[in-house]
Structures are given as C-alpha cells and as structure tokens.
Structure 1
Amino acid sequence: MKVLLIGSGGREHVIAETIARSKQHPDLYAVMSRKNPGTARLCRDFLIANEDVESVIPYARSKGIDLAVIGPEAPLDLGLADALEDGGIPCLGPRYAPAQIELDKAWARIFMRKHHINGCPVFEVIEEGDVDGAHAVIERLGDVAVKPAGLTGGKGVRVMGDHFSDIEGAKSYASELLNAGKVVIEENLKGEEFTVQALTDGETLAFAPAVQDHKRAYDGDRGPNTGGMGSYSDAGDILPFMRKQDYEDAKEIMRDTIKNLKKYAGVYKGVLYGQFMLTAKGVKVIEFNARFGDPEVMNVLPLLRTDFVDILSAIADETLSDINVEFERLATVCKYLVPAGYPENPVKDTVVEIGDTGDALLFYSSVYEKEGTVYTTGSRAIAVLGIAQTIEDAEKIASSGLSGIDGDLRARSDIGTAALIQKRIEHAARLRGL
C-alpha cells in the first residue's frame, strides 16, 4: 500500500505519524511546499513543490500511489481532490463542489439556511461592492461578525467587541473587504467554542472527541487571534463545560450537513470539522472546515485505536459503516511553541534545539530543516502534546515537554490548566442560566 500525503505543517506531521502506525506498514510519500523534518523522516520519498495539481498528479502517478490524504485547505480550492479521484487515486479530502462548505462562507451559510440545518445564525451575504447594503445590515444587526467569503487562513473574521468597538468600525472593515469579494455579515455569537471532527465516506460519520482550541496569542485569552495556540480534550467525548446533549446536537448538525451535501453538491469524502459555539440559545455553527483542524488534530489522531489506513480504504470504498472507529479514553493537552513576536512581528530563521521532552509528543509545524538544524519560519513552530488519564496530568506532561525545547520561542502557559477550565465551566453555567 502506497499512501501520498499532501501538506507540510503540523497537521500533516501528526497525520503522517498516524499512517506510519498502521499494521499494514504502508509506504508513505509526501508532497510538501517546504521540508517538514517530522514528516520527511517517516517517508520513503518526498517532493518539495507546490501543493497543487501540476506538482502532485505527475508525482503520484510516477510512484504508483494507492491512496492520497490532503492535509490543508488550499489544495482543495485548487481542485486537487477532483484531479486525484478522476485519475483513479482515492483521496481523503472532498471534491471541489462539496468542499465549498469551507471554501466559500457565503455558500455555506446559504446552504445551511436553504436546507434548514440547525445552528445557523442570523446572517446576510453582501455582494462585492455593495457598501450601502453592508452598512444597512450592520445598522440592523448591531452586534456583528464580519467575514470575507473566501479562504483567509482563519484570520479574516472580525467581530464586534474584539476587533472594533462600534458600528463604524464594522462598516469600515466591511467596506474594505467588499473591494475584493463577497462578505458575510452575521450576528456575533457569544458563548464557549468547541470543535467536533468527523471522518466520513459521504454517508457514515465517525466522530472524534470534542476539542477546545485557544485562538488568542497570550495567556488569559488576551492579544490578537492566531491560527491556534493550543487545545485540549477530556477522557471522553465531551469537554468539562459541555453536556452530552451539546455533543449530540453538534453531531446531528454534521450528519445533516453531510446528507444534504451528498444530495445537492456531491458525495463528501474526507474530514468534516465543525466549529461550534455553545450559546444561551443552544449550539450554533461558527463555521465548517473540509479538513482536520490545527491544532485540534493533535488531540484526536494520537488517540485513534482503529487502523488509520483501514479507515482510509473504507472511506474510498464507501464502506465506513463496516468499521468501528475507536479512540482511547484519555485526556490531551496540546501547546504550540511560537516565535517571539508572533503573530504581529515574529522573529524568523532562529534555531530550535530539541532536548529531553519526557513523555510529550512533538509535531513539527512551520519550521524548516537545513543541514540537520531546525529553524523557525515566523509562524507556529512546534506542537507539544501531553496524553494522560486527566487533563491536569496531560497539561503537566505538555508543560514539561516545552521546557526541553530551546530557542527564541514562547507558549501559552494557561491552556489545559484548572483555573482556565474552571473559567469555561462557570461561563457555560451562566449561559445556561444556572
């Protein structure tokens, strides 16, 4: 079995580790835009090239690839899944049409409303250039989130209270975005965020435990948004602030989404990532992604008990219902080391030295290797993961692991700590009116 992985980040490193654990002993190949040292060490061969159709397809053919896994979202937007599938190579990653659930936020919201999928906030889609229309919607809704319709790497969304203090600020940002394309303006969801990820063959969904990401750059949820500074999961399906029904509601929304995508956009094979907000009015959808989250993938794939290559084959054959996908009932805490100054003015090209990291697992992200030395690129560098029976013990393992890595790097110290989790529990209780 020859498996091809597309992508060069931390998400792809953990996917590579999960493929390498398979009892089928697959030969792993990769196409990466830069050499990820963690992924490269697991590969029989790899190609450093653009993660696009022109690079991937000839390479896949030359190596006789049996299955492909697309890690990031950008190749989906380039139609890579379509090119692989049309070339006879089954792919974990949806075709371009159903992938619109992530690639186009306007399409996704209209799709949810049209097919009566639960959890959709009040929203309006504003066409490119319609500044007056945008301003009218902002005046009407007041407390809003403003979102560019296309891909932004998770950093284009701005909300009232965090990014602008008044309606005029929201209007100004919407006007700026409308020079480049459509904009979604929607009610600003207030509550506790959580993520649920599922593997699907377009019919059956295999759900991973819920995870909570931490977007803010600094301790205490302060500072600008990032791609995610770290995340945690509990020894079960739900997080400490959640009720079982919250998880079930999220799963039902995702099932309904996959069912309607199959009917109206095409069979969706791959990962569906649901980012949800637990609000005073129940579970709402912040957004969907068409791939694993980063860092949230770190919390779930290391716990996967079922052979990942078996799952990939079942998704390709649309027989996922025949497999019992299981995860270890353990807690996890993931903390990202990032360069000094990240995200506004990060230091680049600094040396990272790995020492004794104890029981922690390491996943290389935005780094590169040159003559055996690892350097930062300016984005999130290394994810450090602790796994244990409790969140408290997992956090200790992760923090201990951080101390074994030297470089001009920092991490959030509060992710997975009792104090921050208690804050989440109390917030959720207030939302429920308790």
Structure 2
Amino acid sequence: MKVLVVGNGGREHALAWKLLQSPQVEQVVCVPGNGGTANLADCQNLPLAVDDFVGISQYALANNISLVVVGPEVPLAKGITDYLQAQGLMVFGPVRAGAQIEASKAWAKALMQEAGIPTAKAAVFTEAAAAKSYVQSQGAPIVVKADGLAAGKGVIVATTIEQAASAIDAIFQGQFGSAGEFVVIEECLFGQEVSVLALTDGLTIRPLLPAQDHKRVGEGDTGENTGGMGAYCPAPIATTELMARVQTDVLEKAIATLRSKGIDYRGVLYAGLMITPEGDFKVLEFNCRFGDPETQVILPLLATPLLDLILACVEQRLAAVPITWHSGAAATVVAASGGYPGDYQKGKVITGIDAAETAKVTVFHAGTKLNDQQQVVTDGGRVLNVTGTGENFQQAIAQAYTGLKSIQFEGIYYRRDIGHRVLSAE
C-alpha cells in the first residue's frame, strides 16, 4: 500500500522511515518532506504546503494513497482530518474538535479540570491588566502561556513578577501571532518533565514508551525554550507504577471526557507530565500528535510494525493489537543552526551524514532540503536528529555523539549534555 505523510520535520522523516519497515508499505510520499525523505529509498517528496488540503486530497485520490498520516499540529488544528475523511480518505490524526486539546491551552485546561486529571492551578485572561494583577497576587516563579499554537515556544517560566509582565505584554502584542488572543497563567511546577505519547482509537488508549525531552537551548537546561534539543527513551523516572497511574488518571479519563463531548479522537494523545521529586505527577499540557524529537527515540525501539498500530487506531480495533518493544535504549541529539531559537541562516551545506550512519546510528533530517546541485543544505533551526541505540543509555548516547563528530555545517550547534540526568543515575 501507499502511505502519505504530512510534514517536513525530523518526526516525519522518522515516521516515513518506520512505515517503510512495515511489509505492506511499498511507498511513502512526504508532503512536503525534507532532504532526508528525498533520499530515503521508496520515498518521494511532494512539494505542497501542509495546509493545502485540496492539493493533498487530489493527489491522494489520483495516486491510490491508502492512508494519510498527519505529523504536525497545525494542519490537524485546521481540520485536515475532517476534510480528507469527507473525500473518502483514511486518515491517522484527530479531527479538528479533538485537536483543540493542543490548539487551545485554555480548552485543554478546562477539559482536564472537568475530567479530574491532575494539573497545575491556572487562570485564563483576555487582557493584560487582569493577567498582571493575577500574577501580582500569586507571586513568582509563575508560568505564562500563549493560548494557541506557538511551535513549542509559547511558554515562559517567569522567575520574577517583572518577567511575567513582560511575557504577558509580548503575548498580547502578537509575538506568537493568533496564539496570543488569550493568556493562560499557571502555577510553576518543579521536577522532571516526561513525555507520554499514547495511541488511541477513541475507545482504547495505549501508551508508548515514555521519553524525556531537553527543552532548553543551553547545557545544564539553561537558556530559552526550544522545540527540543534532544531526547532519550525509555525514561526511567516514569516507573511501571507511575505509568499505571498515568493510564487510569490521565489517558483513560481524557479519552472518556472527549467521548462524552461527542469527539471521536483517533490518533496520538501526548501528555506532557511534570514528575515531582516525591514521585507524584501533574499534566503540563496535551498535544494532538507525535512529539518531536521524542518520536525519533521511540520508533527505533518499536518492534510492532507501525502500520499495524496506525491501522488499528483508524479502524477502531487497537485493543486487539499487542505493542512490543526491542530491548535497550535510544537517544537523539539535535544539531541546530547557529542562533536558534532566535535568528539563523539557511542554505549551509551539510557534510558527513553518510559517514555518521551505522547499524546503531540513524540521522533523521529536520530542517534540511536539497539545493539545485542536489546537496543537502540547512533549511531550519533544528537541522538534524542524530539518533543512537544501544543496550543501555551510556551506549545509546555515546553512539549519537560519535555520529555527530562526522557531521559538519557552518554554525552547527548542539548540546553536549543530552541525557545528563539518566547518565548520572546510571
């Protein structure tokens, strides 16, 4: 069968790579794809925008596409699943009503409160003065969030009242576009973040292995928030006992509450958790899609064919399909453009990718494209995800950094401490 993957990041390269390992998949088409998917065997890029629903639909219908897998949150929030399903196409990804769980932090917070899901105390504001007054009454540190989609950058952990006020002004003044129509102010939680990505067919929900992302741009988890500078899996802090509680207190409650609202949610439900030093947890946010870069460490460990799981979700028979895993660990390190998450240059030639890849190292392209000379060049802030696997975290992380030594482009930047928590624990 032919599968179309919507998106152009490292997550979509990983999805295409994993889908092509499924025996039934003969070809993957990526819209628009990147330099990595362009060079992937049995994969081709289609130069359409991710929100060109008409173009995607017409191509899929004319070229016998059996399944559309949607990677990014933006087309899901705009209703790509609703549109393509109306044209008779099979789609993996929630409908627009379900995608609100990521598209509006205020909507998601209300859902969590209705469902009784443990989460941070919060309030929602539509104008700056009231938000600032609330911050004054609560004190700092405090978390300021743009309500809508902001590419992972719309969350500011303010350590002072003044910093919180500046964040509120920035959001309402449009720094995050339409994401700044509402502001969500939350209590600041302390601990370690863990990403739990779960697959659901709207009735059954099954978690994948927990992963831990590294959000901050600087080593020692310092500096600005990013879309993620690296990740490892499975995250040991998410113990078997904790995951059992997440299943009952978060995942099942969320799906049941969505269903009670008449929302048939099929796809990925991704819970971002804060785990306290005492071993308790609260939900920081929900996302409506595979995480990035978490997908790049989860999928290398997945033994069950990805296609089998996706079809089981779409066809509402997930309860009958077991999820099995390879032993060991995986880690990915993001090679970014100099200046990210601020301003950065594009078009820098990348060398050494082939030399980096081994049986234990896979390079997933994120912000890359092919230039007119068919060279791979930089085309984004997060450029590559160098993923290593091994019997343990020490081996997996070492493989990723060994692979990185072969890769060069002007301005390359990456954190040298990915996995520091788990290495110190080992």
Same fold (TM over 0.5): yes
Residue 322 of structure 1: aligned partner: 320
For the residue of structure 2 that corresponds to 1:353, the secondary structure is coil
Q: 1:75, CA displacement in angstroms? A: 0.6
Aligned-residue CA RMSD (Å): 1.9
Residue 411 of structure 1: aligned partner: 414
Taking the aligned partners of 1:261 and 1:226, their CA distance within structure 2 comes to: 29
Residue 245 of structure 1: aligned partner: 241
Residue 176 of structure 2: aligned partner: none
Taking the aligned partners of 1:380 and 1:44, their CA distance within structure 2 comes to: 22
Asked if residue 94 in structure 1 is aligned to residue 121 in structure 2, the reply is no
Q: 1:20-419 residue pairs with structure 2 within 5 A?
A: 20-32=20-32, 35-38=34-37, 41-43=40-42, 45-52=44-51, 53-117=53-117, 119-127=118-126, 130-143=127-140, 144-161=142-159, 166-179=160-173, 180-234=180-234, 239-252=235-248, 253-279=250-276, 282-354=280-352, 355-357=354-356, 358=358, 359-370=360-371, 371-408=373-410, 409-417=412-420
Deviations 1:81-121 (A, max 9, x none): 1111122212111000011111111100011112222x221
Give the counterpart letter for 1:332 in structure 2: A
Give the counterpart letter for 2:209 in structure 1: P
Taking the aligned partners of 2:37 and 2:205, their CA distance within structure 1 comes to: 29
Q: 1:247, CA displacement in angstroms? A: 2.1
Taking the aligned partners of 2:259 and 2:97, their CA distance within structure 1 comes to: 10
Contact 2:197–2:268 (CA under 8 A) maintained in structure 1: yes
Q: 1:45, CA displacement in angstroms? A: 4.3
Deviations 1:172-206 (A, max 9, x none): 32134235411111101111111111111111122
Q: 1:40, CA displacement in angstroms? A: 5.4
Q: 1:305, CA displacement in angstroms? A: 1.0
Deviations 1:188-228 (A, max 9, x none): 11111111111111111222111110011122212222111
Taking the aligned partners of 1:222 and 1:174, their CA distance within structure 2 comes to: 21
Taking the aligned partners of 1:3 and 1:351, their CA distance within structure 2 comes to: 30
Q: 1:44, CA displacement in angstroms? A: 5.1
Give the counterpart letter for 2:337 in structure 1: P
What is the TM-score of this pair, normalised by structure 2?
0.92
Give the counterpart letter for 2:317 in structure 1: T
Contact 1:145–1:187 (CA under 8 A) maintained in structure 2: yes
Contact 1:13–1:39 (CA under 8 A) maintained in structure 2: no
Deviations 1:114-135 (A, max 9, x none): 2222x221101112xx223212
Q: 1:69, CA displacement in angstroms? A: 0.1
Q: 1:398, CA displacement in angstroms? A: 0.7
Taking the aligned partners of 2:115 and 2:35, their CA distance within structure 1 comes to: 41
For the residue of structure 1 that corresponds to 2:351, the secondary structure is strand
Deviations 1:13-45 (A, max 9, x none): 00001110001133222221x643335534454
Contact 2:394–2:423 (CA under 8 A) maintained in structure 1: no
The count of corresponding residues between Structure 1 and Structure 2 is: 411
Taking the aligned partners of 2:187 and 2:16, their CA distance within structure 1 comes to: 39
Give the counterpart letter for 2:7 in structure 1: G
Cα distance change, pair 5–121 in 1 and its aligned pair in 2 (3 A): same
Taking the aligned partners of 1:77 and 1:296, their CA distance within structure 2 comes to: 20
Taking the aligned partners of 1:265 and 1:112, their CA distance within structure 2 comes to: 16
Contact 1:246–1:278 (CA under 8 A) maintained in structure 2: no
Cα distance change, pair 319–378 in 1 and its aligned pair in 2 (3 A): closer
**Greater mean deviation of Cα atoms: 336-345 or 261-270:** 336-345
Give the counterpart letter for 1:122 in structure 2: K
For the residue of structure 1 that corresponds to 2:181, the secondary structure is coil
Residue 15 of structure 1: aligned partner: 15
Contact 2:2–2:25 (CA under 8 A) maintained in structure 1: no
**Greater mean deviation of Cα atoms: 268-277 or 213-222:** 213-222
Give the counterpart letter for 1:175 in structure 2: D
For the residue of structure 2 that corresponds to 1:89, the secondary structure is coil
Taking the aligned partners of 2:18 and 2:408, their CA distance within structure 1 comes to: 26
Contact 1:28–1:43 (CA under 8 A) maintained in structure 2: yes
For the residue of structure 1 that corresponds to 2:46, the secondary structure is strand
Taking the aligned partners of 1:68 and 1:226, their CA distance within structure 2 comes to: 28
For the residue of structure 2 that corresponds to 1:273, the secondary structure is strand
Contact 2:70–2:91 (CA under 8 A) maintained in structure 1: yes
Runs of 5+ consecutive residues of structure 2 not aligned to the other structure: 174-179
Give the counterpart letter for 1:12 in structure 2: E
Taking the aligned partners of 1:5 and 1:297, their CA distance within structure 2 comes to: 14
Taking the aligned partners of 1:244 and 1:140, their CA distance within structure 2 comes to: 39
Give the counterpart letter for 1:135 in structure 2: K
Contact 2:14–2:296 (CA under 8 A) maintained in structure 1: yes
Taking the aligned partners of 1:339 and 1:13, their CA distance within structure 2 comes to: 19
Deviations 1:271-306 (A, max 9, x none): 111110012572111111111111000111111111
Contact 2:22–2:305 (CA under 8 A) maintained in structure 1: yes
Residue 5 of structure 2: aligned partner: 5
